[in-house]
Amino acid sequence: MNRVHPDYPPRGRLERAIASARLVLAFGAAVAVWLDPASPPSNPLVSAYLLVGVVVLGLVWTPMRFARTWSLTVHAVDLAVVALVMFADGPTSPFFIYFTFAVVAGALRWNLSGALWTAAAALAMYAAISSAAGRNPVVDDLFIIRCVLLTVIAAMVGYLTAYHARVQREVLGLAAWPHRMPRDARDVVAEVLERATDILSAPRVLLVWQEPDEDHVNLAWRAGGHVEWVHEAPGTYIPIVAETLERESFQALNAADPGARIQLWSRGRFREKRGASVNQALRDRFSIRSVQSCRIDGDIVHGRLFWLDQRTMRLDDLVVGELIALLAAARLDAVYFLARARDSASLRERLRVARDLHDSTLQRLAASGLQLAVARRLVGRDPDGIERRLADIQTQFESVEIDMRSFIRRLRPFPTVGAMRPAEGLEERCEALQRRVEAQWALPVDMRLAVADRTIPEDLSEQVFLIVQEGVLNAARHAHASNVRVSIGTVNEHLHIEIVDDGRGFPFSGSYDLTTLNALERGPLTLKERVAELHGGLQLDSSQTGVRLVVTLPLTQVGIVTP
């Protein structure tokens, strides 16, 4: 059960407030005595109470740790003053104001029980003092009248205190709702049920909702501290509540009575109607009689919360219930949003892995396969040529091994954050690509890099190299080009990559940007995906005399840092 925190209101603040009120009361009593011509010039009791008020206020305004008996001791002094004033001043005694102060102080310190036992203790002390003075409280009309009046005051203060404590508990329960989001939907459901149970003090709480993109109905309930969660077939318990109540928060003392009174909170005001409220099958399964229900209306999750078997239901519980339903909807939406984000991230990672394997390992293996085919044709005719081809194949496999080790390292769950690779690392890889293509394809490659004055993050360096590699190999394998020119530099805070060949071009002609290529479903797929993931731009010019490919990557977004 979520109770009022023992330090709320803070102990020091509470004691200072009570001490200030006591001093005001004592000072007011002293002024009244001074102004009353029938009173003696000084009243020892009033003077002593004023002195106590000054001393206590001075103590509580100093940095101090309150002993466990502090509140009880000071409260006993207030009760003694009440009894003495009641006894000493006769029928015209202003004891009511002293008594009311003591009851309020007791209520602030100990809630309803504090108000009740303060009143009982004051009356007991009054009776004891009266008896000690020779009066008989049993036949004393004044004593009886005062007892009745004081009981009424105590009951009134106690009721207000109990109401305040309940509101305080509800507010603190809402404020204490966890901020961290559990990763598992079951933990969120258990959290919603626990909070809903504690804040409105319901014996049972039932949550009914549908998951996004799912047809089945979810039922989760909490009773006896245990949470149960089951799935029901599509359409079960539909509609959950009467159609006229689907968008309302309501209370009903007897959900089974077709003519029962239903209290509604609708569009900012309370209303009343009669009729059945809850789906009969749901009512029978959970033996629902008294019920409060609020709608859960999130961006993803839709359903209802039911509070069952509450002994007392107040109209303002409907407002609190709606606040709980809003928080529940936000929490359930968030956990499903996170699940979708994780699925999306997983899909993006799978696509990235596929692109990297396609642009590195697959390309190298394809080249090695071609080399093996050539070597087979040279068997028995050119032993030196076979040896050169096999040496090239060995080099290819060694390069594939290096790439795969680098690839596996990048897939590890805790890569080095912010690892940087100098621009020369990219230049070395591009030069190796140049030598390999010229050796395997007899295709001259003019490779020009002008990024020596910048430092490129390792992951970006890898992506730039793969873009260049795919563009060059496409020219070699598919375009049958006789020359390829590659330039990498910076233009207006963008990394600029240009690949030009004199081959036969794509099956289509014209000038296209990335958006147009995607819309027409044309162009190199993995290269387009890679550029889009890097928030870059692409321009492709294709004709029968060759292809010009321009890729621009924004430096401020991809993480290049100027030293």
CA distance 229 to 252: 25
**Which tokens hold the place of 154?**
């105590």
Higher per-residue confidence, 560 vs 188: 188
Residues in the chain, how many? 563
Token output for 553: 């990557």
What is the DSSP code string of 386-434? HHHHHHHHHHHHHHHHHHHHHHHHHHSSSPPTT-EEEHHHHHHHHHHHH
Confidence of residue 206 (pLDDT cuts 50, 70, 90): very high
Confidence band for 419, pLDDT divided at 50, 70 and 90: very low
Instruction: Give the pLDDT score at 451.
Output: 76
The answer on pLDDT for 171 being more than 50 is: yes
Residues 439-468: what's their mean pLDDT? 78
How confident is the model over 366-414, as pLDDT tens digits? Answer: 666 666 766 676 666 777 767 776 767 766 665 665 666 666 666 665 4
d(C-alpha 415, C-alpha 402), whole Å: 17
What tokens does 531 get?
Answer: 């550029």
Residue type, position 20, single letter: S
Alpha carbons within 13 angstroms on the beta-carbon side of residue 137 total 17
- The whole-number pLDDT of residue 497 equals 93
* Residues 227-250, mean pLDDT to the nearest whole number: 87
Dist CA 555 CA 524 (whole Å)? 23
pLDDT at position 409 is 61
pLDDT at 116: 86
pLDDT at 559: 44
- Phi-psi category of 198—alpha, beta or left, where left has phi over 0 and alpha has psi -120 to 50? alpha
Provide the H-helix boundaries in 42-94: 44-60, 70-88
Q: Which residue has the higher pLDDT, 453 or 53?
A: 53
Cα–Cα distance measured from residue 494 to residue 558, given in angstroms and rounded to the nearest whole number: 10
Q: Is 44 within 8 Å of 67 (Cβ atoms)?
A: no
Whether residue 3 has pLDDT greater than 50: no
- Report pLDDT digits (tens) over 21-38: 888 888 888 887 777 766
Q: Give me the mean pLDDT over the 154-173 stretch.
A: 78
- Which pLDDT value is given to residue 383? 72
pLDDT in tens, 84-110: 776 665 555 677 788 888 888 888 888
The amino acid at residue 422 is: P
pLDDT of res. 498:
94
Q: Which domains does the chain have, with CATH numbers?
A: 11-175 (no CATH), 185-341 (3.30.450.40), 420-563 (3.30.565.10)
Q: Of 155-164, 177-186, 231-240, which range is least confident?
A: 177-186
469-528 tens-digit pLDDT: 888 888 888 888 899 999 998 877 788 999 999 998 898 999 999 999 988 889 888 888
For a pLDDT cut of 70, what percent of the chain falls above it?
75
Give, to the nearest 10 degrees, the angle between helix 316-356 and helix 185-200: 170
End-to-end CA distance of the chain: 58
pLDDT for 558 equals 46
Rounded to two decimals, the pTM is 0.53
- Evaluated on CA atoms 399, 400, 403, 408, the torsion sign reads negative
From the number of C-beta atoms within 10 Å of its C-beta (0-12, 13-18, 19+), residue 201 rates as middle
Q: Which of 23-32, 298-307, 543-552 has the lowest mean pLDDT?
A: 23-32
- Strands of 204-210's sheet, edge to edge? 226-232, 217-223, 204-210, 302-308, 291-297, 249-252, 261-266, 269-274
Choose the most confident range, by mean pLDDT, from 87-91, 158-162, 322-326, 333-337: 322-326
What integer pLDDT is reported at residue 92 of this predicted model? 53
Q: What is the pLDDT of residue 428?
A: 83
Cα 370 to Cα 86, 373, 439, 468, 502, distances in angstroms: 112, 5, 13, 21, 23
Cβ atoms of 218 and 346 closer than 8 Å: no
Mean pLDDT of 442-447: 90
Question: Are the CB atoms for 299 and 259 separated by under 8 Å?
Answer: no
Which has more confidence, 469 or 225? 469
